[in-house]
Structure 1
Amino acid sequence: MSFDEIGQTIRNARKSRKLTQRSLGAQLGMSRATISGIENGTVGEIGIRKMLTLCAALGIELVAQKKTRRPTLQQLMQEQSDA
């Protein structure tokens, strides 16, 4: 999962709870700019504890998994022709 996808998941969870970036940030002791940066994938660096706290507040979890190998162009073309 990319930083952009993580940010989108966080944004969707926040909006589903009808929270603004400012209100969520205040609840967690983070700035609105930090929440925005996480959601947009532009935050320079964020600690794992902050990320876990953010996820817990939104009812989502951060999961680590074994990295999979990206498919080759041939595999992608084959999948498309099979569809």
Structure 2
Amino acid sequence: MNISTIGAIIKKERESCGLTQWALAKVSHVSRVTIVNLENGKVGDIGAVKLSEIAENVGISLFSMGKKVDFIKMTLGNVNTSYKNAMSKSDLEKFMLSGKIQPGLEGQVLHLIDETPTSLVSSTVKQIAAKK
């Protein structure tokens, strides 16, 4: 796979996530020009780690071991840390689809918003949307 193909895939996934080039650049810690050049297949010298980070921020992995990642499970592991009542898979899906917080899960939702990496939230939303 060459850089033009990778750039086209990243652009397609970025657009399907509803991210602007500026937003992707910000969460990936690169300039918007870098994203523009990458999507056009004209990026100069970009390292594998940075390229992988950009890809993961739109929910794709460049270094897959052939196993699908369960982003919902990862998100639940992140948000349920240190809480007496655990948020279930169904609770997370209901919240992400409706935006309504169920009583007793306020702490987990705050943790999701404040502490969970944007790339993980984005990937979780895509996984839930793909199921519907």
* Matching residue of 2:35: 35
Amino acid in structure 1 at the alignment position of 2:58: L
* Matching residue of 1:76: none
Amino acid in structure 2 at the alignment position of 1:33: V
Amino acid in structure 1 at the alignment position of 2:54: L
Q: Distance in 2 between matches of 1:50 and 1:63?
A: 13
The Cα shift of 1:2 comes to 2.1
Deviations along 1:40-75, whole A, 9 cap, x unmatched? Answer: 1111110111011111111112148xxxxxxxxxxx
1:62 is aligned to 2:62: yes
* Matching residue of 1:15: 15
1:61 partner SS: coil
Count of aligned pairs: 64
Runs ≥4 residues deviating over 2 A: none
Q: Distance in 1 between matches of 2:23 and 2:55?
A: 15
Q: Percent of aligned pairs with the same residue?
A: 39
- Unpaired runs of 5+ residues, structure 1, are 65-83
Deviations along 1:8-28, whole A, 9 cap, x unmatched? Answer: 100000000011101110112
Q: Distance in 1 between matches of 2:42 and 2:53?
A: 19
Structure 1 length-normalised TM? 0.71
Q: Distance in 2 between matches of 1:48 and 1:2?
A: 13
Higher relative contact order (CA 8 A, sep 6+): 1
Q: Distance in 2 between matches of 1:62 and 1:41?
A: 16
- Unpaired runs of 5+ residues, structure 2, are 65-132
